[in-house]
Structure 1
Amino acid sequence: MGSRSARPPAPEVEPAGDRPDVILVVDDDEDIARFVEFNLRLHGFEVLHAGDGQEALDMIEQHRPDLAVVDLMMPRIDGLELTRRLRANPITSALPVIMLTAKGMTVDKVHGLSAGADDYLVKPFDTAELVARVSSTLRRNKEFREVSPLTGLPGNSRIRREISDRVRSGVDYAVGYIDIDRFKSVNDRYGFVRGDEFISALARSLHRAVVAIGLPPAFLGHVGGDDFVIVCAPEQIRPLTSRSVVDFEKSADTLYDPTDRERGFVELKDRRGNIRRAALVTLSIGVSLSDARKRFTDPLDAIAVASEMKTVAKSQPGSYVAVDRRRADGV
């Protein structure tokens, strides 16, 4: 399957270990918030407080906390909606969330976990349980949900676990391996800061495509650099990649200087001082399918085939999606 672009061919972040973990407490009850804050500070955490979900979103954007303790019932944006929004944003999708509920009913726990909460606490709770839940959730997050500091997306270990989960469930799945063509030309022309903007733009485009295709939920991970991985149902791969290509190329155009954008290429000097042209960036996407034709049981095999197909895609002009159609016998 190919998806060609209309583009013609060309003629410092502070280390987490250097500071205490930052906990955001989101609760409109001042007494509860002060109780939680006091006890967390006693155990060495730095604590921020937001009175509702809207204020929390603003604070998260500014301060990037390590974990959020979120009350279920709040005005404006409640805990469930806040958690859903955090999970829907690639920058905050991996932020661990502990949900607080005063009811203790099973349905509230289920709703909280379904929205994406990592754990829950039932009010009233004691200090030891609060600190234990926060500490264990942070530890799990650091061990199992490592994320890219640039995009906030989960990395290699989480990607492998996602594929392993699908293998165990027995469902058909597709793995898409994506990178930016001629990304080096962006770094060489504009520098690494602008290059990071292209990577962030791709993360946002992929995320918007994932949201748009709906259920079953697709998974998005960031391998590193300009390499991303999508894991989804086989029938989702075509609409997902098509949307991503169109969205990303539109976003990338805005990141070029006007002169380069209008002429459709950038000029670069090689080591000998010669001028060469590099076309505007496009996407190469390789796809492996685990279905009746070929069943992958090892996540690394699925990723390796997707990477192989990405190489095939790079041999084609413009943005291109190459899907492995071979059967298990190699035919």
Structure 2
Amino acid sequence: MAETKSKLLIIEDDLDIAEMLNAYFRVQGYDVFTVNWGEDGVRACQTHRPDLVILDIRLPDIDGFEVARRLRADRRTQDVPIIFLTEKRDRADRLQGLEAGAEAYLTKPFDVQELRLRVQNVLQRARRIAPTNPITGLPEGAAVDERLTECLHTEDWAILVIGIENLETFREAYGFVASDDVLRAMSLMIQNALREVGESGHFVGHLGPCAFVLITSQSALPALEERLRSRLEQSLEYFYPLKDREQERRNHRRLKLRFGVLQGGAGQYETLEHLKRALMPA
């Protein structure tokens, strides 16, 4: 298992199977969350961006085929791997599942060891493809881990983490398009600031869906941090409609930024996991 837990979303209306899979994969070292309805599964995938979805076909509302079609049609979830786990054994159903973009199709009753290996293999294949965030186009996942790992053996590095707080509240009020615009605008302002600083070798990616990570040199950090704090903080109120801005200034759940800085040299952190733990409170 990788040091950073992979996230699994299980969409299964059989509560016994859902509970069993949840417990089994947590023991295997995965971060697991489950839902029992298709519509809830689509929303959960859009919100939490899992690394893989285990999907039943017979669900109480929309079926698994429709869930898969919606995930593939949404740029935020189009690359999330899907494994169908279902009682439907007909060849036509299997072909329909594969046509919907599933990486595997397992029928019930299933061998949990086979499912574990399927999950493991699909995730390994996904990691070999350099992942990018579907909204901003910036690196995320394994690509970010690779650059962070380089810091473990580099003498001069500085990391700036910029987190956007309350973006989910903003999304609930104004919709996915507006929240995507926030992320895209932030990423562009960050990239422009990096170009203006002028040094080469900067890196920017996603530490999480609502967090950016910048890797630079210790000498470049002060000017870069000052520039970004000023520009990003000033931009926040402009993401709200004009009629709501005065009210949002008094709202404690409004969009906010969280900055964290970490500097070091070779040997300061033993593993990637230790480095990422140090970044999280930042």
Greater radius of gyration (CA): 1
Higher relative contact order (CA 8 A, sep 6+): 1
